[in-house]
Amino acid sequence: MTIAVCYVSPEGIVLGADSTTTYGSLHFNNSQKLFEVGENSTLAMVTWGLGGLSVNSHRTLIALFDDDLKKKPPSSVKEVADRWAAFFFAAYNDPTTPLAPFIAQCRALAAKPAHDPQNPQDPLARTDPEEKWLQEWRLNLVVGFCVAGYVMPDRSPAAFEVVFDPIATAPPTPAAKPHGYWFWGAPNMIQRLIFGCDEQLKNSIVNSGKWNGTAGELEALVSRHALDHPLVPIRDAIDFVHSCVSSTIKAFKFSNLAPICGGPIEIGLITTDRRFRWVQHKLWDVAIS
């Protein structure tokens, strides 16, 4: 799991992430989740969810993608995001990878009607074990990217969210992210800090039987108590991103939850007058020093 952050400002883009990757019950704290696309670039990506495709790492695929961009330069960040959606979808659905049988099983089960506890013997619907398997593996196999930066001669910063779901049979449509801050992976801590309530808690309240209003009414009530956050200067945006990642890491460290966020914090910056720069980046000897 991950805490990934993107701050879209008129001055540029700030991307941040932690460094923990989970393999089964093991946690490694020095993985890479934030990448410059190529070198001396005005584009970058941050990723969350599935940490790699077993055969090809995100690092390798982004490097190959950059090779493709050099052969045919893009005209906009949207084009970059669209091309990444198609490029990664092909690798994600490679039938020769170890993930292929799990993706195929997800799609086969998703094609069946959902399990109905009131009619558990329905031969056409998913069984209870199949329902649980699908929920677990769909979550495990989802992978997302935020593609951000600008493409000359247009210096306008832009960011697009691209999420790959194992039950999808076509490349995803990138979603534009307007000015402001965006979180992915494990955003619970930040949602509670800024809004006073995360999505899981709101769902629990609505479904508890104690709440007499609608989900929309609860959302309106919670939003009145959110901490206002106007767009800030780019250096303060860096502080905001670092604070969000750091707070999430500490929240997991001092909880009884699995340490799915941790390790060195990485922050990258693309401003409208400069190309990609590392604000905070772990050295290659971090795991041994």
**Rounded Cα gap, residues 42 and 162, in angstroms:** 18
Could you report the per-residue pLDDT of 100-137, keeping only the tens digit for each?
999 999 999 999 999 989 888 889 999 999 999 999 99
Under DSSP, the state recorded for 5 is E
Q: How far apart are CA 69 and CA 36, in angstroms?
A: 13
How do residues 51-108 score in pLDDT, each as one tens digit?
888 778 999 999 999 999 999 999 999 999 999 999 999 999 999 989 999 999 999 9
For residues 172 and 165, what is the distance between their CA atoms, to the nearest angstrom? 8
Give the CATH superfamily of 3-280. Aminohydrolase, N-terminal nucleophile (Ntn) domain (3.60.20.10)
Cα radius of gyration rounded to whole Å, the chain:
20
Task: Report the alpha-carbon distance of residue 136 to residue 186 in Å, rounded.
Answer: 16
**CA dist., res. 121 & res. 133, Å (int):** 18
* Residue ranges with strand state E in the chain: 3-9, 12-17, 21-23, 26-28, 34-36, 43-49, 143-151, 154-164, 175-176, 180-185, 266-271, 277-280
- Kindly provide the b/e burial profile for residues 230-257, where b requires at least 16 CB atoms within 10 angstroms of the residue's own CB: eeeebeebbebbbebbebbbebbeeeee
Domain boundaries, the chain: 3-280
Average pLDDT over residues 188-201: 90
Q: What is the pLDDT of residues 236-256, one digit of tens each?
A: 999 999 999 999 999 999 998
